[in-house]
Structure 1
Amino acid sequence: MAVPRPIATRYARSGDVRIAYQVVGQGPFDLVFVPGFISNLDLHWEDEGYSRLLSRLSTFSRLILFDKRGTGLSDRVDTNALPSLETRMDDVRAVMDAAGSSRAAILGASEGAPMAILFAATYPERTRSLVLYAGYAHFHKWVMDPARLQGFIDAAETCWGTGATLQNFAPGRLDDIRFATWWARFERLSASPTAAAALARMNAEIDVRGVLGSIRAPTLLIHRRNDARVDPDASRYLARKIPGARLAEIRGRDHPIWTGDVNRVADLIEEFLTGTHAPPDTERVLAALLVTRISDTARLGDRMWSERSQRFHETWRMLVGRHGGRVADRHGEVMISRFDGPARAIRCAAALREAAQGIGIASAQGVHVGEVEARGPPSGLTMRVAIQIAEHAGRGSILASRLVADLAAGSGLRFSDGGRVVLDELDDPLALVEVTSEQHLEPACRSRMPVAAEPSALTVRENEVVALIADGKSNAAIAAELNLSEHTVKRHVANILMKLDLPSRAAAAAFAVRQTGPDGP
């Protein structure tokens, strides 16, 4: 889905303070999004999850976004005299007035939920409906006790802007270098260290339990069952106290509304506010999953391995995007990406193999094609089979199911028989293929010349291997003569065929003979 970037940032006057806001979409009703602890209207669009959420919401509503006073693009305020919840709630009304919204659905996320609750109770005529994500009515009871709060404030005052608070909000994203870097900028550009500490103290005073029974707007509550920041019991309490409220508990641990299964959250909100939600074109689609494993084979030591591993993870994200894929999931040194076609997945795997070699680490990759859910991270049989294929792949190899080769016919990719493997998930052994090379087609405007590759394109070891191929020796015999594993020889053969743009071992043998015979150099 294309991300609808906001046209402009505008400012609403609320008392003596100006509140930054944006309006996105042209839906039949207004939806005001009240953000959590901190926010920054510009940075929201730089994060994939956040922009996807806002994109979804703006497809069925006119979405009104704003930064609360003291945060993001809105006016800074005196940290010694922070506004009350009531004053901040009035900011919602000021933004609605400036945006020309007389009545709206209100979405309050996390710390934004108490503001949304107070607004709905105070201005029922302006509240079409109420959605509370990871909301609470009393801070100390369901978010942090005084001791934990003081620890959070101490950390904020010394480490704010480094991304150190990520562990409090989204511990599942700590190993996601790209997200962690974005989070550090999110901290710095949303509030100063002093303001962040003051905001935390102000939030600790929140207690709107007394107004819950006054809410008359239809209310939906959404909470992740293992939320790392706000106890799920907070929403269960709201469900008991807000008349007619509905509670939807979903899977997940990371707290921010824009993390985890964002599409599930958007579906619930859309169905509640519109009575239905637009289904995807198909619930399940055919996709190619690439599972990449990396390992340390040189006993680099923890520090050097950590540096190289981090470098590869960053390269992985870049190459997956460059080859038209999507980063799907990551578990330590196992990375899963998703592609619309198997050829793209294979070409990305080849690029990743080369990148791993350049960084000085080992890779092994598996590719499988099958049906996956159209939305959310891949799961089910297709993913489990892809993971097991990657587990069977040797160092430096790209192993795929036979179906991948069948669907990639005509792509210029070449495969060799990879045997069969028995997987727990399948009744019958799965036929495998190994990627050997890719045929590089020259532009039609250039004359097609016979292969005349330079032997210098090969490494010393590869020249040894190709010479033995010319002698008619098998991979096993070459492995024995050069004191290598048979799998390493297979990898050398694959590299030779790819570098010389040759279709087979026989062609490689002919190449070696030409280089050493009377017609050779």
Structure 2
Amino acid sequence: MRPIETRYARSGDVRIAYQVVGQGSFDLVFVPGFISNLDLQWEDEGYSRLLKRLSAFSRLILFDKRGTGLSDRVDSRHLPSLETRMDDVRAVMDAAGSGRAAILGASEGAPMAMLFAATYPERTRSLVLYGGYANFHRWVMPPERLEAFIETAETAWGTGATLPNFAPGRIDDPHFSQWWARFERLSASPTAAAALARMNAGVDVRGILSTISAPTLLIHRRNDVRVDPEASRFLARKIPGARLVEIAGRDHPVWTGDVDRVADLIEEFLTGEPAVADTERVLAALLVTRIYDTAKLGDRMWSERSQRFQETWRLLVGRHGGRAAGTHGELMVSRFDGPGRAIRCAAALREAAQQIGVASAQGAHVGEIELRGQPVGLTARVTMQLASHAGRGGILASRLVADLTVGSGLHFTEAGRISLDELDEPLPVVHATSEQPSGTSLPAEGQASRAGDADGAGKRGGEPDRRRKEQRCDRRRAQPQRTHGQASRRQHPAQARPAVAGGGGGVFGQAHWPGRAMRAMALLGEAARRGRALGFSSCRPGGFRREAPANGG
């Protein structure tokens, strides 16, 4: 993607940095949260994904609020009022040639967006508030917690120390943690961060809510770690005609969690049409492999073994028909066309880790991912969390993986359910143990026949051979006779050919007997029902598709 041009708008004596991207039929102004940086935000996968989605149906206007990112700093001794900062929105719209726009306010940007909509109703096409609030101390932080936050900002700013306050679910993601530390440093200085926190603490716009006349959509995560969901419920009661949609998740920033779900809701609200399915997304199986040092090997030996394992990982992933999709520190992500391949590769990687002398834990899941680039979004994050829940040497998979590999010879044991931040319901999971022994995949008749054929090849004639033949005949008489129409192929009655991913992300399978086909269809139906809880509809020619967001969330 070519670099986005950054320009500056004058708001009084302050310069406000802004960008314009997209060529949609209407303008959408994004008012960011606590801190921002116009250049750095494009480097984060989730942030850039959100902005690309929004700019696909609008002319998106982005800016850094005064005191943050590329805009001028504020005097910490003379903090500007909310009205002054709100006027920065008007200045940016004027500079970008926007007479009327939809306003998207996220987190701390929501009070500014609400005040703008109440002050300039003729310039507000509609209003979208994500994770918003009307009073800081009531729904974000009481005074004592605010002081503790400011102390952290003044002593550890730039190290990523504030990440637990905003996105605790991403703490174990080293790539995101490093980006967040840079995000802190390049968005504000420690002094500026403390000043911004004090400015936000004075926010109270409860008195103007009833004057907002623009159509309003409220989006809030049910377990938001920073802003109490009651804040949006209060806004829904006080803003005339406002509609509230609560979504799953705990991490607060709008560009974390299920970004596509947020973008779908915004697009449908602003355009009046359901979001168009993204043809650049396919159904795939993801495998996340995590290695760690339990033997206290020392930096040098651990580095050597880690590098050796990563080389082996790439080799085994390719050997099992997969693609190495990227690494995040000691996390290695690979993608496969079918879940069976992913599980077999995981078993091979577990054995390789034992031979190299490192501990491993792996997670496997099936879901939609980007056709190009590294897997991001809900499917990738769920798979990473499965890997983090897996024990040493364990392969923890979603129950959907087991359902889609029925008849493949893979063996799973139930592991209960685990609660994940971004899912509405606990996720059923299984342990992948081992492949079933080859002898157990054939009925007794097939086993006996093969054993007898092998014996007969070694010895021909004589009394032992005659007795073996008689024993085989007795066993055959004891077997129930096949009825008319049954297949003669010797195969386990519950065994069907394993499902594989087809073109466009679809999943296809074959079963040799009608009964097996019916059982396989029943299993796939159950998998589809479970898939719908993760945002997919049932199988159709061409693959799975994301469900359009239902009215009311």
Task: Report the Cα distance in structure 2 between the residues aligned to 1:137 and 1:73, rounded to whole angstroms.
Answer: 27
Shift of 1:300: 2.1
Counterpart of 1:127? 124
Distance 1:421 1:222, change over 3 A: same
Is residue 39 of structure 1 aligned with residue 36 of structure 2?
A: yes
Counterpart of 2:139? 142
Distance 1:87 1:294, change over 3 A: same
Task: Report the Cα distance in structure 1 between the residues aligned to 2:208 and 2:237, rounded to whole angstroms.
Answer: 13
Is residue 198 of structure 1 aligned with residue 195 of structure 2?
A: yes
Is residue 421 of structure 1 aligned with residue 422 of structure 2?
A: no
- Is the 8 Å Cα contact of residues 308 and 360 (structure 1) preserved in structure 2? no
Counterpart of 1:292? 289
| Structure 2 counterpart of 1:65, one-letter code | L
**Deviations 1:346-373 (Å, cap 9, x if unpaired)?**
99979977996898513366778x6658
- 1:368-447 matched pairs, under 5 angstroms: 376-378=377-379, 420-424=410-414, 432=435
Is residue 260 of structure 1 aligned with residue 261 of structure 2?
A: no
| Structure 1 counterpart of 2:269, one-letter code | F
Equivalent residue in structure 2 for 1:171, among 165, 168, 183: 168
Is residue 278 of structure 1 aligned with residue 275 of structure 2?
A: yes
Distance 1:236 1:9, change over 3 A: same
Distance 1:85 1:327, change over 3 A: farther
Higher relative contact order, structure no. (Cα contacts within 8 Å, ≥ 6 residues apart): 2
Is residue 182 of structure 1 aligned with residue 169 of structure 2?
A: no
Shift of 1:288: 2.3
- 1:231-246 matched pairs, under 5 angstroms: 231-246=228-243
- Is the 8 Å Cα contact of residues 319 and 352 (structure 1) preserved in structure 2? no
Shift of 1:5: 4.8
SS at match of 2:287: strand
- Is the 8 Å Cα contact of residues 44 and 51 (structure 1) preserved in structure 2? yes
Counterpart of 1:227? 224
- Is the 8 Å Cα contact of residues 168 and 229 (structure 1) preserved in structure 2? yes
- Is the 8 Å Cα contact of residues 401 and 432 (structure 1) preserved in structure 2? no
SS at match of 1:45: helix
Task: Report the Cα distance in structure 2 between the residues aligned to 1:127 and 1:157, rounded to whole angstroms.
Answer: 37
Task: Report the Cα distance in structure 2 between the residues aligned to 1:133 and 1:315, rounded to whole angstroms.
Answer: 40
Distance 1:131 1:315, change over 3 A: farther
Task: Report the Cα distance in structure 2 between the residues aligned to 1:75 and 1:426, rounded to whole angstroms.
Answer: 50
**Deviations 1:321-360 (Å, cap 9, x if unpaired)?**
99856579x9x99876544577996999799779968985
Shift of 1:289: 2.5
- Is the 8 Å Cα contact of residues 221 and 248 (structure 1) preserved in structure 2? yes
- Is the 8 Å Cα contact of residues 173 and 179 (structure 1) preserved in structure 2? yes
Counterpart of 1:29? 26
Shift of 1:378: 3.1
Task: Report the Cα distance in structure 2 between the residues aligned to 1:177 and 1:264, rounded to whole angstroms.
Answer: 24
- Is the 8 Å Cα contact of residues 360 and 393 (structure 2) preserved in structure 1? no
| Structure 1 counterpart of 2:224, one-letter code | D
| Structure 1 counterpart of 2:15, one-letter code | R
- Is the 8 Å Cα contact of residues 290 and 336 (structure 1) preserved in structure 2? yes
| Structure 2 counterpart of 1:92, one-letter code | V
Distance 1:339 1:14, change over 3 A: farther
Task: Report the Cα distance in structure 1 between the residues aligned to 2:189 and 2:352, rounded to whole angstroms.
Answer: 39
- Is the 8 Å Cα contact of residues 261 and 377 (structure 1) preserved in structure 2? yes
Equivalent residue in structure 2 for 1:11, among 8, 13, 16: 8
Distance 1:430 1:353, change over 3 A: closer
Identity %, equivalent residues:
71
Task: Report the Cα distance in structure 2 between the residues aligned to 1:232 and 1:426, rounded to whole angstroms.
Answer: 29
SS at match of 2:133: coil
Distance 1:354 1:156, change over 3 A: farther
Distance 1:349 1:34, change over 3 A: same
Task: Report the Cα distance in structure 2 between the residues aligned to 1:57 and 1:354, rounded to whole angstroms.
Answer: 45
Shift of 1:76: 1.6
SS at match of 1:130: strand
Shift of 1:235: 0.3
| Structure 2 counterpart of 1:244, one-letter code | G
SS at match of 1:234: helix
Task: Report the Cα distance in structure 2 between the residues aligned to 1:426 and 1:50, rounded to whole angstroms.
Answer: 30
Shift of 1:190: 0.5
Counterpart of 2:96? 99
Shift of 1:402: 13
SS at match of 2:260: helix
Counterpart of 2:459? none
**Deviations 1:236-275 (Å, cap 9, x if unpaired)?**
0000000000000001001100001111100110011011
| Structure 2 counterpart of 1:124, one-letter code | P
Show structure 2 runs of 5+ residues with no match: 371-375, 396-400, 415-427, 438-553
Please, what TM-score do these two structures have when normalized by structure 1? 0.66
Question: CA-atom RMSD, angstroms?
Answer: 4.6
- Is the 8 Å Cα contact of residues 38 and 64 (structure 2) preserved in structure 1? yes
Shift of 1:431: 8.7
Show structure 1 runs of 5+ residues with no match: 407-417, 435-521
Shift of 1:277: 2.9
Task: Report the Cα distance in structure 2 between the residues aligned to 1:279 and 1:54, rounded to whole angstroms.
Answer: 16
Is residue 361 of structure 1 aligned with residue 358 of structure 2?
A: yes
- Is the 8 Å Cα contact of residues 324 and 344 (structure 1) preserved in structure 2? no
Task: Report the Cα distance in structure 2 between the residues aligned to 1:433 and 1:138, rounded to whole angstroms.
Answer: 60
**Deviations 1:174-220 (Å, cap 9, x if unpaired)?**
11111111111111110110111011011100000000000000000
- Is the 8 Å Cα contact of residues 76 and 192 (structure 2) preserved in structure 1? yes
Distance 1:265 1:327, change over 3 A: farther
- Is the 8 Å Cα contact of residues 33 and 66 (structure 1) preserved in structure 2? yes
- Is the 8 Å Cα contact of residues 6 and 23 (structure 1) preserved in structure 2? no
SS at match of 2:53: helix
Equivalent residue in structure 1 for 2:72, among 75, 86, 89: 75
SS at match of 1:378: helix
Q: How many residue pairs were aligned? A: 404
Distance 1:359 1:57, change over 3 A: farther
- Is the 8 Å Cα contact of residues 46 and 377 (structure 2) preserved in structure 1? no
Please, what TM-score do these two structures have when normalized by structure 2? 0.63
Task: Report the Cα distance in structure 2 between the residues aligned to 1:310 and 1:199, rounded to whole angstroms.
Answer: 45
| Structure 2 counterpart of 1:76, one-letter code | R
Shift of 1:17: 1.0
Counterpart of 1:65? 62
Task: Report the Cα distance in structure 1 between the residues aligned to 2:435 and 2:368, rounded to whole angstroms.
Answer: 20
Task: Report the Cα distance in structure 2 between the residues aligned to 1:351 and 1:41, rounded to whole angstroms.
Answer: 44
Distance 1:291 1:211, change over 3 A: same
Task: Report the Cα distance in structure 2 between the residues aligned to 1:224 and 1:267, rounded to whole angstroms.
Answer: 15
SS at match of 1:41: coil
